[in-house]
């Protein structure tokens, strides 16, 4: 004899076998969606790993703190009135991304690199994309957006602190404070503002990489 399951939301009854098949169907759908999610994230991670990273040399590593040397790089930069990460990450990104996606006098597309640089200040902020190796001001197309500046960064020594997950004004501020504390403990002098580096697209949900960095006073010993 087939048992029955009474739903609390009504007076209709359904055979237990029917309910079991329905629950099994839902479970299969959920497992399939999870599989699709992880496959998509793996695809995203594999594609972002093929993006050219800004080169640097690690000089020293101590726990979470990393001391690096960054050679000079060519940057496309936009300066905005944004005063926090949330404002800068939307308005700034659209304008600089527009430049490399063809909003320039040649209509040329330029490969995306990693990371995106954000210098966030109360008085106004800037966002920079590092141009791929092989490009400089002599062979880059001229931006049609007059607010985009092509420049060459100075080589620098910098201290970096990495963290995972999605960045926010709160997490950036917390890690900047942590980096400041670590530098003070090691008597390393920071130079200038603490900056944020974002490495991943917003649709990458797992394995995200973020960094807070600051230029430092450093002398390399041979």
- Domain for residue 221, yes or no? no
What is the end-to-end Cα distance of the chain in Å, rounded?
86
22 with 96, same domain: the answer is: no
Q: What is the pLDDT of residue 220?
A: 83
73 with 109, same domain: the answer is: yes
Nearest to 43 by CA among 179, 215, 201, 199: 201
Handedness of CA 176, 178, 179, 183 (dihedral sign): positive
140 with 43, same domain: the answer is: no
Residue span of the structural domain in which 18 resides? 4-48
41 with 101, same domain: the answer is: no
Which helix (H) or strand (E) element contains residue 13? strand 13-15
- Domain for residue 222, yes or no? no
Calpha distance 188→186 (Å, rounded): 5
| Structure letter (DSSP) for residue 75 | E
Please tell me whether the peptide bond between 216 and the residue prior to it is cis, using omega within 30 degrees of 0.
no
99 with 22, same domain: the answer is: no
- Domain for residue 120, yes or no? yes
- Domain for residue 16, yes or no? yes
Q: What is the pLDDT of residue 6?
A: 47
Look at residue 162 and give its three-state secondary structure. strand
Q: What is the pLDDT of residue 64?
A: 86
Count the domains in the chain: 2
Domain CATH for 152: 3.20.80.10
* Full-model pTM: 0.78
83 with 192, same domain: the answer is: yes
Collect all residues with Cβ–Cβ distance below 8 Å to 116 and sequence separation of at least 6: 93, 96, 127, 128, 129, 197, 198, 199
Q: What is the pLDDT of residue 3?
A: 46
Q: Is 74 exposed, middle or buried (0-12, 13-18, 19+ CB in 10 A)?
A: buried
Longest CA span, the chain: 86
79 with 100, same domain: the answer is: yes
pLDDT in 10s for each residue of the chain, 222 residues: 444 444 444 555 556 666 677 777 777 777 776 665 556 555 555 555 578 999 999 999 998 899 999 999 999 999 999 999 999 998 899 999 999 999 999 999 999 999 999 999 999 999 999 999 999 999 999 999 999 999 999 999 999 999 999 999 999 999 999 999 999 999 999 999 999 999 988 777 777 899 999 999 999 876
């Amino acid at each position: 004899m087939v048992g029955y399951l009474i739903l609390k939301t009504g007076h209709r009854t359904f055979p237990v076998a029917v309910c079991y098949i329905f629950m099994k169907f839902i479970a299969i759908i959920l497992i399939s969606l999870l599989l699709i999610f992880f496959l998509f994230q793996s695809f995203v991670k594999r594609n972002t790993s093929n993006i050219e990273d800004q080169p640097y040399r690690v000089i020293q590593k101590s726990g979470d703190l990393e001391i690096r040397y960054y050679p000079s790089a060519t940057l496309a930069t936009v300066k905005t009135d944004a005063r926090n990460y949330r404002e800068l990450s939307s308005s700034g990104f659209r304008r600089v991304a527009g430049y490399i996606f063809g909003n320039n006098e040649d209509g040329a597309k330029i490969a995306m690199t990693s990371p995106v640089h954000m210098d966030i200040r109360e008085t106004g902020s800037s966002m920079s994309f590092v141009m791929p190796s092989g490009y400089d001001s002599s062979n880059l197309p001229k931006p049609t957006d007059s607010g985009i500046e092509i420049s060459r960064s100075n080589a620098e020594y910098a201290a970096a602190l990495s963290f995972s997950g999605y960045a926010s004004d709160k997490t950036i501020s917390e890690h900047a404070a942590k980096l400041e504390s670590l530098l003070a403990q090691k008597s390393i002098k920071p130079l200038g503002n603490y900056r944020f580096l974002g490495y991943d697209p917003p649709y990458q949900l797992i394995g995200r990489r973020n960094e807070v960095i600051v230029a430092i006073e450093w002398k390399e010993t041979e």
